[in-house]
Amino acid sequence: MERMERRAALTGAGQSEVGRRLGRDPLELTLDACLAAIEDAGLTTRDIDGLSTYPGAMGGNPGFSGAGVTEVHDALRLELEWFSGGMERSGQLGAVVDACLAVACGLARHVLCFRSVWEGSAQGKGSRAGIGLSGGGGGGSFRASGPPMEWTLPFRAYSAVNWIGMFAQRHFHEYGTTREQLAGIALNARRNAALNPAAIYREPLSLDDYMSARMISTPLCLYDCDVPCDGATAVIVSHVDAARDLRKPPLRVEAVGTALRGRPSWDQFDDLTTMACRDAARMLWERTDLGPGDVDVAQLYDGFSFIALSWLESLGFCGKGEGGAFVEGGGRIARDGEIPLNTHGGQLSGGRLHGYGFIHEACVQLWGEAGARQVAGDPEVAVAGAGGGPLAGCLLLTRL
Amino acid sequence: MAEKPFRILPRVTGENEHFWCGGREGELRFLRCQPCGTYVHPPAPLCPDCLGKDLQVEAVSGRASVLTFTLNHHPWVPAADHPYAIAIVEIDEQPGLRLMTNIVGCPAESVHVGMRVRAVFEEHEDVFVPLFTPEGA
């Protein structure tokens, strides 16, 4: 059976202004990104007949969602054949995979996929230090209900940094991974961000800076955590038959990974040294004749540095447990290394665009549009993976 | 035990009361499938192994091992005891029967993978939060 990926292509990518705290209407940022992607593909809003987004409109979690399907649909007066928005899918990029399915099945021809955040502004001045709760003794009127909050918050595990810190600690325990090694992820991101005008943190970061940074949740320090920001990203997924005469050479979707074979949980996953990326990556390689050695650039989720390490292992760029040694010093993952990683600065230095910065950068690198940070050698194959813990989804893109 | 820290409490329901309130009787309790003996956590309406619905609440020994941990330094809420230890522990009765918890009653820096611990309970309103302390403590 022909794999559905053969009928899907990426034809445009766009991004809004990105900043620490822009104080701008998040819907406006979203639309800026959407219009940039549409123009990039050489399309108009009248050509867009599908919409797909993560996580969809939602309250709670201030700044976590800048816009849902309905707002974008109406603002652009789109005439849609298919649309979808929501969180219960294979990580953030699951919305892009769904768009591939929609065009492959003939439900739409050009699907606009977007993700927007305004966590920088929503979390206000200062850091994301507080969760808006205080006082001693019992927790007041708010009660945690359902997974994951019921099983984490009562134990004062307020943040994903606590949850990911435990995966990292188990990896350190089993494989001897060290903070000095893990630093390679953060320092590489900062070196790349220096060449990306849109990145949030661009000043040099040294190993000493990293090692002396304040601890957040062991073994993760400040520089192992990404930076909340405001910004939106969009890509266009087109049916291959509708992609041929557009502005740019279409990027073929060679394979996707959406599997979650372990328990869908932050604390019940069978192997505490890896995460759902293990399953998504395995599935990705099951759907293509290409292998990790064919990949020219890797854009892998670094909401926390350890997640990127886990993706590198999962995708087979190094062996299981060897991620620490692989990223140590940063040479292998540098722009001129074995597998250039997060060439835009990732979320650690580029800003927490929540998964979509990675697929945007994969496209930009394959189109040769990355400017000062462009990877040499005319990259032809890129992998983008997003999500940590029980979230994971990945796509392998090629220029061929 | 030192002064109780702030905790967000769980919403107690008919389905989870055995877990969150078992500490009133000093017991760590889980659902257990009666025909096949599998402990089920978090609570669910059926056994994931045999898909049977004959689940009953049973107490376990409360003995466990630390699978992994993290020392939280960041002041998400004001507290006097930073850093404190968050851990995932595995209950002796069944491989894979585990929960996130805190390790208390010892210096946070002494917590390690493989540490032997036992359940203790911290009372907040109607909830008895299951925490763990070094086995010999």
B10 touches chain A (CB under 8 A): yes
Choose the weakest-confidence range: A141-145, A223-227, B101-105: A141-145
pLDDT of residue A138 exceeding 90, the answer is no
- Which residue in B has a C-alpha nearest to residue A164's C-alpha? B70
Using CA coordinates, name the residue in chain B closest to A163.
B70
Distance CA A326, CA A331 (A): 9
Tell me, yes or no, whether A238 lies in a domain: yes
By Cβ distance, the residue of A131, A136, A217 closest to B72 is A217
The CA distance from A172 to the nearest CA of chain B, in Å, is 10
Q: For residue A15, what are the CA distances in angstroms to A36, A63, A250, A331, A363?
A: 7, 17, 18, 29, 12
Q: Residue-wise over B49-58: b if at least 16 C-beta within 10 A, else e? A: eeeeeebeee
The pTM of the full predicted model, rounded to 2 decimals, is 0.96
Q: What's the gap in Å between the CA of B117 and the closest CA on chain A?
A: 16
CB atoms within 10 A of CB A86: 17
In this predicted structure, what is the pLDDT of residue A136? 40
Confidence class for position A9, pLDDT limits 50, 70, 90 = very high
Range scoring the smallest mean pLDDT among A2-6, A94-98, B39-43: A2-6
Is residue B2 included in any domain, yes or no? no
Residue A184 lies in a domain: no
Mutate to test the interface with B, among A267, A270, A310 (most CBs of B within 10 A): A267
Determine what percent of chain B is predicted with pLDDT higher than 90: 96
Residue B65 has a CB neighbour count (10 Å cut-off) of 17
Is A77 contained in some domain? yes
Residue A61 pLDDT: 83
Q: Which of B39, B41, B64 is nearest to B131 (CA)?
A: B64
Q: Give the total number of structural domains in chain A.
A: 1
CB proximity B75 to A under 8 Å: yes
- Find chain B residues with C-beta within 8 A of A182's C-beta: none
Residue-level pLDDT at B33: 98
Q: Is residue B125 part of a domain?
A: yes
Asked whether residue A198 is assigned to any structural domain, the reply reads no
- Contact between residue B50 and residue B118 where contact means Cβ atoms under 8 Å apart: no
Q: Taking residues B53-74, report their average pLDDT.
A: 98
Please give the pLDDT value at position A124. 76
In whole angstroms, give the CA distance from residue B15 to residue B45.
9
Domain that holds residue B103: 17-134
The pLDDT assigned to A58 comes to 86
The pLDDT, as a whole number, for residue A23 is: 95
Residue B20 amino acid letter: W
Residue A380 lies in a domain: yes
CB atoms within 10 A of CB A396: 25
**Chain A neighbors of B126, CB-CB under 8 A:** none
Average pLDDT, chain A: 95
Residue B137 has what pLDDT? 81
Phi, psi (degrees; rounded to nearest 5) at A274? -145, -175
**pLDDT > 70: percent of chain A:** 96
- Secondary structure class of A282 (helix, strand, coil): helix
Q: What is the pLDDT of residue A127?
A: 45
Chain B residues inside the 8 Å CB shell of A147: 42
Classify residue B8: in a domain, yes or no.
Answer: no
Query: Is the residue at B129 inside a domain?
Result: yes
Chain B touched by A130 (CB under 8 Å): yes
In this structure, is residue A200 part of a structural domain? no
Put simply, whether B109 touches A (Cβ < 8 Å) is: no
pLDDT at A130: 44
CA–CA separation, B54 vs A352, rounded Å? 46
Question: Is A111 part of any domain?
Answer: yes
Answer yes or no: is B7 within a domain.
Answer: no
User: Alpha-carbon distance A156 to B19, whole Å?
Assistant: 17
The answer to whether residue A133 scores a pLDDT higher than 80 is: no
Q: Name the residue of chain B whose CA is nearest to A133's CA.
A: B77
What residues of chain A, 232 to 271, have a C-beta less than 8 Å from chain B?
A: 266-268, 270
- ipTM exceeds 0.85: yes
Q: How far is B104 from chain A (nearest CA, A)?
A: 11
Query: Residue B99 is nearest to which of A129, A151, A170, comparing CB atoms?
Result: A151
Residue-wise pLDDT tens digits, A33-68: 999 999 999 999 999 999 999 999 987 788 999 999
For residue A62, tell me if it sits in a domain: yes
CB < 8 Å from B in window 176-215 of A: 214-215
CATH number at residue A63: 3.40.47.10
- Residue A305's domain spans which residues? 4-123+227-398
**Is the pLDDT score of A163 beyond 90?**
yes
Number of domains in chain B: 1
* pLDDT (average), residues A111-137: 70
* Predicted confidence (pLDDT) per residue in B10-59, tens digit: 999 999 999 999 999 999 999 999 999 999 999 999 999 999 999 999 99
Residue B68 lies in a domain: yes
pLDDT interval class at B2 (50, 70, 90): low
Question: Measured between alpha carbons, how far is A236 from A95 in angstroms, rounded to an integer?
Answer: 12
pLDDT band at residue A2 using 50, 70 and 90 as cut-offs: confident
